Amino acid sequence: MMKLFVWDLHGTLEQGNDKVVVDVSNRVLAEHGRSERFTYEDGAKLYGSKWYEYFEWLLPQETYETWSRLQDDCFRTSERDIALQCKWLRPTDHAIDVLSQIAEHQEWHQILVSNTRVANLKIFVDVLGLTGFFPDDARFAVDGHTLDGPATKRDVVRTYLEGRSIQDLVFVGDSPSDMRLTEIAGGTSYLYSHDEFPFRECEADYKIRDLREILKSCQ
């Protein structure tokens, strides 16, 4: 039976990016001559938000244009300074093992769909050692950090399924929107959360803190 695993990246297959976001944001704030700063506690609380929403939270008196400009500079900084981008980043516990076991099944396939930008996604995948699981045609960046992004995860999944004979879908992510991807063509949803973060409020078939749980229920 052809099975497709649809993976989210941030907060699911990686850990540490919540601190990276804080470091990059604070550098950009300094470059803009602003005195406000995020703490790592702020980063943990805001994690999962779009990047401009961090600045909306920190600078509520400003406009969307200002938040968006700061966000754009954050992306440019993270693309330019790989060391800063990768300081805290590492694969989620057991992620490599789970991806490897899925890859061993001839009729199991997996794709990565992320809200980040194309350039950033390539950096993340390379640094995390995930390129072998998600080559160019199996990873998709939807640039979901704007109010009017060009596509959504739902668009990507729907397009990917066209013309393919997939009998079973498995969605793994850390957000309500990831769980709602089952509305496209059914499937099983796994809401993941690292130990230090609470589960997001949404419906899911399974709520897990260990990626190995996916394999137990998929056998």
Superfamily of domain 3-15+89-218: HAD superfamily/HAD-like (3.40.50.1000)
Give the tens place of pLDDT for each residue, 52-79: 999 999 999 999 999 999 999 999 998 8
Residues 18-45: what's their mean pLDDT?
Answer: 97
Bigger pLDDT: 41 vs 146: 41
Question: Looking at the chain, how many residues does it have?
Answer: 219
Bigger pLDDT: 70 vs 217: 70
Predicted confidence at residue 139, as pLDDT, reads 97
Domain ranges, ordered by start, for the chain: 3-15+89-218, 17-86
Residues 171-183: what's their mean pLDDT?
Answer: 97
Examine the pLDDT at 144 and tell me if it is beyond 70.
Answer: no
Examine the pLDDT at 142 and tell me if it is beyond 60.
Answer: yes
For residue 196, what are its two tokens? 């230090």
Residue 44 is given by DSSP the state: H
Predicted confidence at residue 81, as pLDDT, reads 92
CB within 8 Å of 154: residues ≥ 6 apart: 180, 181, 183, 184
Predicted confidence at residue 145, as pLDDT, reads 57
Alpha-carbon span 153 to 142, nearest angstrom: 7
For residue 92, what are its two tokens? 């989620």
Predicted confidence at residue 143, as pLDDT, reads 79
Predicted confidence at residue 120, as pLDDT, reads 86
Predicted confidence at residue 67, as pLDDT, reads 98
